[in-house]
């Protein structure tokens, strides 16, 4: 497979300096219309889909051939088979839910209620708040308990509160959805209506006490460490000893309360909201969480709201894709182990190691040459860069799933068993030293990440494929695509949030005051630039929410371009391929990874909920700050994309 930059995949009727995204991707967008089951479809999503087909073959193999009892392949096969067995699912109806529904009915007092919330948390049924373990932000070697806001059925707290027409529409459609779901459970019209209103009331109160997405991006605001006694004082109505007992966790260490005000409100609500209303709320949490694994009527109604209304998708994804996703979250590393054996060539890892090494050297160069940063801060930045840990392909040691029970009796039961197993596995880490070998994405995931607390960049096997990574393509293309992704993840250690952590992953200021001010001034250029983008009608992009990603895109491009120049000076590739120079191919390869078609509803949803900018702006946004881009395509001052030097952002 080789990259294809030609009249079929590009739009040569557009000047590169007018709209580079359209110029580079116009043909691709025309040839790859939106499928009915997607809110967005781009080269990224296409790779995801190709990848899903590989995983599907694995699941089919596991489910249709004889597997050793208790082996991973038996578990994978049985899980997939129960998910695909719609006949059995229809026959069982709401039977698999009965026990939990009875548990809700049996709640007689606040202690019962709290016990049941803990029990729901054990099964991964999102209710009221989140409890989980993660490293202490100021002592990154240790796992502590984390408490965070939660309990909403809508995907952003603003939908309950904001007065804009989209939020209001989503809110009223949500109320209809709630009512329909209660009706499906067998309640009369009237009962369903009352219950829906109760849920809306409870969730709106939680929403009012919740932080916005922007507030949650501030790691200082969400760092409020308390011991058990202090936590108990914050929420006297919530018996934390009881909670810990119910989740089977013997823990007396610290708790980070990400949103103390939210928990203050939960405490107040436990005093004020009548038990009958809590029961309606719990029923909704149960049915919402179980719906994808229940009969078709529940699946369809769930999709009608979360798929159609929120993302604008006309059609639900085929069943195999949905069951595959559930399989991945249930048995991720078991599937991943089989996946890399079949689909990950060792050469890919070797090539990546070299690329990452060159990217690190390039970033080192760039930091040393930064005109705006003092030597003191530079020294610390270089130490942090040097300390970044790199993971490529798959974990050194895969998880052991042998004690997880998966059979062919019930899909929902399998899902719950797996959730319980995975949650218990993660909880057992609380109060212990951080396991730095752990991965937060499975090898079959088409994505990559930076973890500020581990100060590491991670590239799962599945992203190391075209159009990100080509084993046989010219350097220009690999630096333009996967190289920029590597640089992007590295830059996350130095974006508006990542820069607040030191080389050991602790929230700790290593910047001089002046350098911090310089950084803010420089990144404000990006905030203003993205705020000025009109994504649809009168709706603007959110420059503050997407700032970290935009800094990383610009940094990634600059760093990878520098690395590419270095590689090229040792081994000059000057010949044009398909009529494009190496520099041009670098930028075209970058643009291609963000080629996408997207629905209006999905544009609006992502602009509200997603920290990443839309494809068009991930391309045109950062490129205008790069003189190398103008030079590569001979773009002159008169061109619409041209930005005078004084308006360009120079950050990393
Ligand atoms: Zn990112």
Residue 509 near residue 500 (C-beta atoms within 8 A): yes
**492 CA distance to ligand 1 centroid (A)?**
7
How open is the CA angle 445-451-457, to the nearest 5 degrees?
65
**456 CA distance to ligand 1 centroid (A)?**
13
Render the burial of 305-316: b for 16+ CB within 10 Å, e for the rest: bbbbbbbbbeeb
Residue 602 near residue 40 (C-beta atoms within 8 A): yes
Does residue 31 register a pLDDT over 80?
A: yes
pLDDT at 570: 80
Beta bridge partners of 393: 460
Instruction: Tell me the per-residue pLDDT of 587-612, one tens digit each, with 9 for 90 and over.
Output: 999 999 999 999 999 999 999 999 99
Does residue 99 register a pLDDT over 90?
A: yes
Catalytic residue chosen out of the listed positions 136, 203, 489, 549: 489
Sign of CA dihedral 47, 52, 54, 55: positive
Phi, psi of 289 (to 5 degrees): -70, -35
**332 CA distance to ligand 1 centroid (A)?**
22
Least confident interval from 12-16, 134-138, 343-347: 343-347
Q: Could you confirm whether 583 is annotated as catalytic?
A: no
pLDDT at 235: 98
**352 CA distance to ligand 1 centroid (A)?**
18
Strand-strand pairing, 40-42 and 255-257: unpaired
CA distance 543 to 547: 6
Catalytic residue chosen out of the listed positions 265, 280, 553, 602: 553
Q: Could you confirm whether 141 is annotated as catalytic?
A: no
**650 CA distance to ligand 1 centroid (A)?**
18
**494 CA distance to ligand 1 centroid (A)?**
12
Counting residues of the chain whose pLDDT is more than 70, the rounded percentage is 100
**447 CA distance to ligand 1 centroid (A)?**
10
DSSP state at residue 241: H
End-to-end Cα spacing for the chain: 33
Residues with CB under 5 A from ligand 1 (ion): 549, 552
Render the burial of 594-629: b for 16+ CB within 10 Å, e for the rest: bbbbbbebbbbbbbbeebbbbbbbbbbbbbbbbebb
Average confidence (pLDDT) over 445-470: 96
Average confidence (pLDDT) over 430-448: 97
- Residue 278 is encoded by which pair of tokens? 């809590």
CA distance 593 to 161: 36
Average confidence (pLDDT) over 629-651: 97
**366 CA distance to ligand 1 centroid (A)?**
20
User: How far, in Å, are 152, 187, 513 from residue 190 at the CA level?
Assistant: 23, 8, 61
Name the pTM for this structure: 0.95
Residue owning tokens 């996946």: 339
CA distance 584 to 576: 9
Average confidence (pLDDT) over 427-447: 97
CA distance 457 to 478: 18
Average confidence (pLDDT) over 547-573: 93
Instruction: Tell me the per-residue pLDDT of 499-519, one tens digit each, with 9 for 90 and over.
Output: 999 999 999 999 999 999 999
Average confidence (pLDDT) over 131-156: 98
Average confidence (pLDDT) over 616-624: 98
**489 CA distance to ligand 1 centroid (A)?**
6
Strand-strand pairing, 596-598 and 225-226: unpaired
Q: What does pLDDT average to over the chain? A: 97
Length of the chain: 652
Instruction: Tell me the per-residue pLDDT of 229-287, one tens digit each, with 9 for 90 and over.
Output: 999 999 999 999 999 999 999 999 999 999 999 999 999 999 999 999 999 999 999 99
Nearest CA to 598 out of 63, 38, 73, 80 is that of 38
Name, in order, each residue with C-beta under 8 angstroms of 154's C-beta and a sequence gap of 6 or more: 160, 170, 171, 174, 203, 207
pLDDT at 40: 97
- Residue 210 is encoded by which pair of tokens? 């919740």
């Amino acid at each position: 497979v080789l990259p294809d930059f030609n009249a079929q995949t590009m739009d040569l009727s557009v000047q590169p300096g007018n709209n580079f995204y359209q110029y580079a991707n116009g043909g691709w967008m025309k040839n790859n219309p939106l499928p009915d089951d997607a809110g967005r479809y781009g080269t990224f999503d296409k790779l995801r889909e190709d990848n899903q087909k590989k995983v599907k073959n694995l699941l089919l193999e596991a489910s249709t051939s004889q597997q050793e009892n208790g082996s991973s392949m038996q578990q994978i096969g049985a899980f997939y088979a129960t998910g695909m067995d719609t006949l059995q699912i229809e026959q069982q109806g709401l039977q698999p839910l009965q026990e939990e529904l009875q548990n809700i009915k049996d709640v007689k007092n606040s202690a019962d209620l709290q016990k049941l919330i803990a029990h729901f948390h054990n099964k991964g049924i999102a209710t009221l708040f989140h409890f989980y373990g993660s490293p202490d932000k100021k002592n990154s070697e240790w796992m502590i308990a984390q408490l965070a806001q939660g309990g909403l059925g809508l995907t952003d707290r603003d939908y309950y509160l904001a007065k804009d027409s989209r939020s209001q529409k989503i809110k009223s459609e949500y109320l209809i959805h709630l009512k329909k779901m209660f009706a499906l459970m067998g309640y009369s019209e009237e009962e369903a209506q009352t219950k829906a209103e109760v849920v809306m009331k409870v969730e709106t109160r939680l929403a009012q006490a919740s932080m916005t997405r922007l507030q949650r991006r501030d790691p200082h605001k969400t760092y409020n460490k308390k011991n058990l006694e202090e936590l108990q004082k914050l929420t006297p109505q919530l018996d934390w000893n009881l909670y810990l007992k119910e989740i089977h966790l013997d823990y007396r260490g610290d708790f980070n309360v990400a949103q103390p005000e939210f928990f203050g409100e939960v405490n107040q609500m436990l005093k004020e909201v009548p038990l009958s209303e809590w029961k309606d709320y719990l029923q909704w949490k149960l049915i919402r969480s179980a719906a994808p694994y229940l009969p078709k009527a529940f699946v369809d109604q769930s999709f009608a709201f979360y798929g159609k209304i929120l993302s604008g998708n006309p059609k639900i994804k085929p069943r195999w894709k949905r069951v595959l996703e559930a399989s991945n979250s249930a048995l991720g590393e078991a599937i991943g182990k089989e996946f890399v054996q079949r689909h990950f060539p060792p050469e890919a890892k070797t090539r990546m190691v070299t690329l990452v090494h060159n990217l690190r050297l390039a970033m080192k160069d760039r930091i040393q040459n930064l005109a705006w940063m003092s030597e003191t801060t530079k020294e610390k930045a270089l130490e942090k860069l040097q300390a970044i840990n790199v993971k490529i392909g798959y974990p050194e040691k895969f998880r052991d799933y042998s004690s997880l029970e998966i059979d062919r009796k019930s899909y929902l039961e399998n899902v719950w068993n797996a959730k319980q197993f995975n949650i218990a596995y993660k909880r057992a880490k609380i109060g212990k030293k951080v396991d730095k070998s752990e991965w937060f994405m499975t090898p079959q995931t088409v994505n990559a990440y930076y973890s500020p607390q581990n100060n590491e960049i991670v590239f799962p096997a599945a992203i190391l494929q075209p159009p990100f990574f080509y084993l046989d393509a010219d350097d220009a293309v690999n630096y333009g695509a996967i190289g920029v992704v590597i640089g992007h993840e590295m830059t996350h250690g130095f974006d508006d949030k990542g820069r607040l952590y030191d080389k050991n992953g602790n929230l700790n200021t290593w910047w001089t005051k002046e350098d911090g001010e310089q950084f803010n001034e420089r990144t404000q250029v990006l905030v203003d630039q993205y705020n000025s983008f009109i994504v649809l009608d009168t709706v603007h992009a959110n420059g503050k929410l997407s700032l970290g990603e935009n800094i990383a895109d610009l940094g990634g491009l600059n760093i990878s371009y520098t690395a590419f120049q270095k590689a090229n000076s040792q081994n000059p590739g000057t010949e044009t391929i398909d009529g494009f120079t190496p520099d041009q191919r670098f930028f075209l390869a970058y643009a291609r990874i963000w080629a996408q078609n997207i629905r209006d509803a999905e544009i609006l949803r992502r602009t509200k909920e997603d920290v990443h900018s839309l494809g068009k702006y991930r391309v045109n946004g950062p490129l205008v700050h790069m003189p190398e881009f103008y030079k590569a395509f001979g773009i002159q001052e008169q061109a619409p994309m041209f930005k005078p030097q004084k308006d360009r952002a120079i950050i990393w």
